[in-house]
């Protein structure tokens, strides 16, 4: 077993060296959370091994037979008239493992044509992204599982269109002391076609390591994710200098000392979240993404940017998850996911 883990670790880390300098590129929607539970817990890959189909788009090694015949519908009320929708279904085949099919659609609303003077006529066009995903997962023994996603992603912006193919690979290990450990490499692939001039767009490759632990004497699960393993420096030099780092007397930028810079870079990778189970039918969730806070905050009003929170409720044969993610002081998107298992409706 230790040999298997070592081989998986070497393979994933080799991908880090290949893609380390790659920027997010055009297909950033592939890293946008569509699930209410994922959004509430920080919006990243999660190391929670249960029967929740919501998690597998971000971590395919969580796909297991307990998801057989599960169905999930997600809706995101983003900003203005931007809306996201997701449909998922899982099925298990005894010989080859479990599969999850996912369809995602991002609708950015209608846009009006205008000329360089700002004049608009009545004509409009639509903008959208979409993704089709087939995930596979298999449990190798009682502690170690692996999984992969194969996804087809497309973009339709007015008359401009493109599509790409990508793969996610992941491994998950459950220790004897009930720690859950995951390692995932996401969006490994390339653009296959675009009908506008220019170079082929790159995919937003990302590697994530995560750990979770359910406390022994409290129904609380703590989750820690180290995001963007492939790139250490996540800092951004703001040309507008909204933070006031420019010294008008000397004409120089006041840089942070090495310790402060190291600490800020480190915490930009870390996402912390947790779930508190209040009985069998209610679960409270919250997360904090420091990197998102640094990217999206404003100097004059920082608010709760970077925080997310939500709730999960079991009603009859359905699990309903709702969450909000404080992505910006402008507003917080609403996420809702409804999940059920079709086998629960069969008469015994």
Q: pLDDT means per 10 residues in the chain (348 residues)?
A: 44 41 69 93 93 94 95 91 94 92 93 79 86 95 94 91 95 94 95 83 93 94 95 72 58 70 89 94 95 76 84 95 83 91 84
Q: Which residues contact 49 (CB under 8 A, 6 or more apart)?
A: 62, 64, 145, 172, 174, 180
**Cβ count near 291 (within 10 Å):** 20
pLDDT of 59 reads 95
**Where do the domains of the chain lie?**
2-113+122-234+269-345
pLDDT of 79 reads 78
Query: Of the candidates 152, 176, 155, which has an alpha carbon nearest to the alpha carbon of residue 166?
Result: 152
pLDDT of 293 reads 84
CATH of span 2-113+122-234+269-345: 2.40.160.40
CA-to-CA separations, 293 to 163, 239, 244, 270, 327, in angstroms, rounded: 31, 18, 18, 12, 8
Q: Which two tokens stand for residue 250?
A: 């000397």
pLDDT of 107 reads 93
pLDDT tens digits, one per residue of 56-77:
999 999 999 999 999 999 999 9
Q: Which two tokens stand for residue 23?
A: 């920027």
pLDDT of 331 reads 72
pTM: 0.84
Q: Which two tokens stand for residue 103?
A: 């369809």
């Amino acid at each position: 077993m230790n040999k298997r883990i070592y081989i998986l670790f070497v393979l994933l880390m080799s991908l880090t060296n290949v893609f380390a300098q790659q920027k997010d590129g055009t297909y950033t929607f592939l890293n946008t959370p569509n699930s209410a539970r994922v959004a509430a817990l920080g919006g990243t890959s999660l190391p929670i091994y249960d029967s929740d189909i919501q998690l597998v788009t971000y971590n395919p090694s969580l796909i297991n037979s307990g998801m057989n015949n599960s169905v999930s519908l997600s809706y995101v009320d983003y900003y203005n008239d931007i809306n996201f929708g997701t449909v998922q279904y899982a099925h298990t085949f005894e010989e080859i493992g479990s599969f999850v099919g996912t369809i995602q659609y991002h609708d950015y609303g209608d846009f009006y044509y205008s000329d360089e003077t700002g004049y608009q006529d009545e004509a409009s066009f639509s903008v959208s992204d979409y993704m089709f995903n087939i995930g596979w997962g298999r449990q190798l023994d009682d502690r170690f599982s692996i999984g992969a996603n194969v996804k087809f992603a497309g973009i339709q912006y007015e008359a401009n269109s493109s599509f790409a193919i990508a793969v996610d690979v992941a491994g998950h290990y459950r220790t004897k002391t009930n720690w859950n450990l995951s390692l995932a490499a996401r969006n490994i692939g390339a653009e296959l076609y675009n009908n506008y001039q220019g170079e082929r767009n790159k995919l937003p490759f990302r590697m994530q390591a995560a750990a979770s632990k359910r406390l022994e004497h409290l129904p609380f699960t703590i989750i820690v994710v180290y995001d963007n393993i492939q790139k250490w420096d996540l800092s951004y030099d703001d040309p507008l200098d909204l933070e006031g780092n420019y010294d008008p007397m000397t004409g120089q930028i006041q840089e942070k000392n090495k310790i402060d810079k190291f600490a800020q870079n480190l915490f930009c990778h870390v996402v912390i979240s947790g779930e508190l189970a209040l009985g069998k039918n209610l679960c409270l969730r919250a997360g904090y993404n420091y990197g998102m806070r640094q990217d999206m905050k404003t100097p004059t009003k920082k608010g709760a940017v970077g925080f997310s929170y939500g709730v999960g409720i079991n009603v009859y044969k359905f699990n309903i998850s709702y969450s909000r993610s404080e992505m910006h002081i402008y507003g917080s998107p609403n996420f809702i996911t409804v999940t059920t298992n079709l086998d629960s409706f069969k008469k015994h």
